[in-house]
Structure 1
Amino acid sequence: MAEIVRLDDLEDPRLRDYVDLRDVQLRLRLETDRGLFLAEGEKVVRRAIESGHRARSFLMSPRWLDRLADLLEGSDAPCFVLDDASIERLTGFHVHRGALAAVDRPELASPRSVLAGARRVVVVEDLVDHTNVGATFRAVAALGFDAVLLSPRCADPLYRRAIKVSMGSVFWLPYARVDDWYSAPELLREAGFTTYAMTLSEDSVAIDSVPHDVDRLALVVGSEGHGLSPHWEKSADHRVTIPMSADIDSLNVASAVAVACWELRAR
């Protein structure tokens, strides 16, 4: 069972994993260096641990001890207890869902191993906003796709905000980063995937007009501002777009992924 440790000193070195959670650049560097990620809120903390990840420690206010008693019962990590005001001073924001966990960051799978176990994947190029990455994972998981491939510049799916928006789907949805991004189209081709690039290029066609009864399918989406790179546009087997009202020229990228995953889902 987790050891309950009541603290009142915010300088206690055991709390260092929870300092300044709103400083994105600092947190990304520290969490990568320390090999951890932060789960926030009862549901997300539960999903992190129940999906097989190991907690290093928990941080919560006293009122959450009973609600998470079953989770603490099965853990050997310490649970640090502070009052709500102290948690806010330590983390830099109001943790209104009351509970946090510092969790061991898993080693990423290789792109080839992720593709080997998938039939429908989403490939994401240079999506740098953590909220959009989290929402993309949530849509991919909800609509029955099997995995995600990320370019090197994509935001970290295990950053606190991305995890929260994904509703914890980043914990069980397989994903990998492709370091040699230029060669990624060939990687997908060798693995037997037909690629569908979402783009506004001149030869794009409506996504509901292309055949997609294929064995292995990859939906490719680009960044929030510039969309897909010319290399990916040219390399894809199909270039597709979502027909929409003339008054609106685009959707949020995660919304577009959701629409496209629904249209290209396995029937």
Structure 2
Amino acid sequence: MSFESIEDAGDPRLVDYRDLTDVALRRVMEPAGGLYIAESAKVLTRALAAGHRVRSVLVQDKWRADAERLLAGRDVPVYVVDAAVAEGLTGYAVHRGILAAMHRPALAPAAELLAASRLVVVLEDIVDHTNVGAIFRAAAGLGADAVLISPRCADPLYRRSVRVSMGTVFQVPWTRLPEWPAAAGVLHGAGFDIAALALAEGAVALDDYAASGPGKVALVLGAEGDGLSRAALEAADTVVTIPMAGGVDSLNVAAASAVALWELRRR
């Protein structure tokens, strides 16, 4: 690795970190496939463990030792800046030590992930990055084999999703599905029972559904407020619900994912 001290936020070497939304980063075509930002030493550690490649690293001097430890033996430029330059460059106070511009890996075909899975989570149009990150963390901790997301779902590699997930977006296999009903064809073709988690008349209690012993389950979750689309509900083999008490009708989608995954995995 090479350490390069930079005092000017306008330096062209820092272009990957300068006022770019993560949507813009996805469209950066040099290198081909786009970039994402890994924020903090823990997240970078997990990204490297998953085999992701580093393009460059931005660090303040007090965290230089962390960069040396993590990147030992790698041919990577490390740009050293002070706190003022880092904040002026990125647009926010950088207090997690390390930012790394990472090469975005190619997504695997959905059929490939499903072939090696028995319990998967499907996210339909969940646009809140915090919820996406929290669901990935639940998926990793509670044993889901993969996460599949709709075309309009928030990017799991957006820096806030990555941070909230504690880097588990790098350890849980994920890819994108097509729109319904094509997505149902992919899931059914791999032998999955599609279970839509929703408040609906005639919905089956989650514990009863889990007790019925479905062999391979695709748990479909929708956005806060709007919930699942009509197309998703029509594609489902079963609509399931979490029995609630205390006058509460539902949980936050991330909390609901954890409850459902625990019940399904436990059975």
Task: Indicate the residue corresponding to 2:127 in structure 1.
Answer: 128
Deviations 1:66-117 (A, max 9, x none): 1232222122110000011211111111111111100000011111111111
Letter in 2 for 1:33: V
Letter in 2 for 1:30: L
Task: Indicate the residue corresponding to 2:237 in structure 1.
Answer: 237
Letter in 1 for 2:233: E
Task: Indicate the residue corresponding to 2:248 in structure 1.
Answer: 248
CA distance in 2, matches of 1:207, 1:215: 15
Task: Indicate the residue corresponding to 1:264 in structure 2.
Answer: 264
CA shift for structure 1 position 158? 0.5
CA distance in 1, matches of 2:176, 2:153: 9
Q: Does 1:37 align with 2:50?
A: no
SS of 2:9's equivalent? coil
- Does the aligned pair in 2 maintain the 1:59–1:81 contact within 8 Å? yes
CA distance in 2, matches of 1:243, 1:135: 22
Task: Indicate the residue corresponding to 1:224 in structure 2.
Answer: 224
Measured at CA, do residues 103 and 212 of structure 1 come closer, stay the same or move farther in structure 2, by a change above 3 Å? farther
Letter in 2 for 1:228: L
Q: Does 1:27 align with 2:31?
A: no
CA shift for structure 1 position 194? 1.3
Q: Larger deviation: 11-20 or 237-246?
A: 237-246
CA shift for structure 1 position 58? 0.4
Task: Indicate the residue corresponding to 1:98 in structure 2.
Answer: 97
Residue pairs, 1:1-150, within 5 angstroms:
2-20=1-19, 26-34=21-29, 35-150=34-149
CA shift for structure 1 position 266? 5.3
- Does the aligned pair in 1 maintain the 2:25–2:36 contact within 8 Å? no
SS of 2:4's equivalent? strand
CA distance in 2, matches of 1:47, 1:129: 22
Deviations 1:168-213 (A, max 9, x none): 1111211111134321112211111112110111010210112342
SS of 1:85's equivalent? helix
SS of 2:148's equivalent? strand
- Does the aligned pair in 1 maintain the 2:59–2:67 contact within 8 Å? no
SS of 2:106's equivalent? coil
CA distance in 1, matches of 2:16, 2:191: 42
CA shift for structure 1 position 120? 0.7
SS of 2:65's equivalent? coil
- Does the aligned pair in 2 maintain the 1:130–1:156 contact within 8 Å? yes
CA distance in 2, matches of 1:123, 1:246: 28
User: Gaps spanning 5+ residues in structure 1: where?
Assistant: none
**TM-score computed with the length of structure 1 as normaliser:** 0.94
Deviations 1:232-252 (A, max 9, x none): 213222211111124322211
Q: Larger deviation: 205-214 or 137-146?
A: 205-214
CA distance in 2, matches of 1:135, 1:68: 27
SS of 1:33's equivalent? coil
CA shift for structure 1 position 20? 2.1
SS of 1:203's equivalent? coil
- Does the aligned pair in 2 maintain the 1:150–1:176 contact within 8 Å? yes
Letter in 1 for 2:76: A
Q: How many residues align?
A: 262
- Does the aligned pair in 1 maintain the 2:40–2:99 contact within 8 Å? yes
Letter in 1 for 2:24: R
SS of 1:181's equivalent? coil
- Does the aligned pair in 2 maintain the 1:213–1:266 contact within 8 Å? no
CA distance in 1, matches of 2:235, 2:10: 53
Q: Larger deviation: 226-235 or 49-58?
A: 226-235
Q: Larger deviation: 226-235 or 191-200?
A: 226-235
SS of 1:68's equivalent? helix
CA distance in 2, matches of 1:74, 1:53: 15
CA distance in 2, matches of 1:192, 1:159: 31
